[in-house]
Homo-oligomer: A and B are copies of this chain.
């Protein structure tokens, strides 16, 4: 498989598979979600289990053309809808879970329920995003801009594993993973930079398989060869990072929102850790971003 380097290549690849994944959508009651799920059905990559208000089909006329791929389960209460969607996924009735306009905390509560939820015991819940940036020549994955405020060493290691698995799904055989800091100096003042030393040692010992992991590196040195050259830094990342692991949620979030706004980047993202991909968009995500997140879920979903 050739590496997927853009969202167009991602959707083209999915369409060649001619296989619909089943998405359980909770409270799909907004125009951007409508755009995303309708396009996924039209392009033959998904079928829908819509859990929530059953009057939705009257609003979403375009979906009426695909009765065989759209099933509606009427549940008025959004918390109950979330629990039912989670139950369906657990029992194998859906491959992917997606949030509509339900409050994130309410859906997370159903996902994190110890007995009836979707997160296996001991698994780390985190968020992995991927951006298509017009000024970068491939997709750029990064974690975690949304869930874990200040990851522990163990959580960082899990974040890296999720990123590696996702890169493999995208056909990237040897992912280049950059551990982000402000500079290239390790310092006890910044405990994450000490974690990075541990992680690079693990990587060099072969713990993560065929990957290139380096850090601490800053964002520019990770993604622009010239920056490293000027500073005299010889990193095996060589300015071509596939993945950026941020030190904390504030830095991941500032990067994501700054670059998406000012560099016209397009974004997709998934919760990592649950037994199935979970599409958990922000209210302000555009329809295209929600659609690409579905596509990312269809690609990385394990069930065939």
Contact = CB atoms under 8 A, between A and B. Distances in A.
A149 interface: yes
Interface in A200-230: 218-220, 223-224, 227, 230
B246 A254 contact: yes
B253 A250 contact: no
B182 A262 contact: no
A227 B145 CA distance: 17
A186 interface: no
B219 A258 contact: yes
Contacts of A230: 283-284
B265 A262 contact: yes
A285 to B, nearest CB: 9
A227 to B, nearest CB: 5
A247 B250 CA distance: 7
Contacts of A259: 258-259, 262-263
Interface string A241-263: 00000111111111101111111
Nearest to A145: B182
A281 to B, nearest CB: 12
A180 interface: yes
B181 A261 contact: no
A154 interface: no
A252 B250 CA distance: 9
Interface in A48-68: none
28 contacts: A133-B262, A135-B264, A136-B262, A180-B250, A181-B250, A219-B253, A219-B254, A220-B257, A223-B262, A227-B284, A230-B283, A231-B283, A231-B284, A246-B250, A246-B254, A250-B251, A251-B251, A251-B254, A254-B254, A254-B258, A255-B255, A255-B258, A258-B258, A258-B259, A258-B263, A262-B262, A262-B263, A263-B263
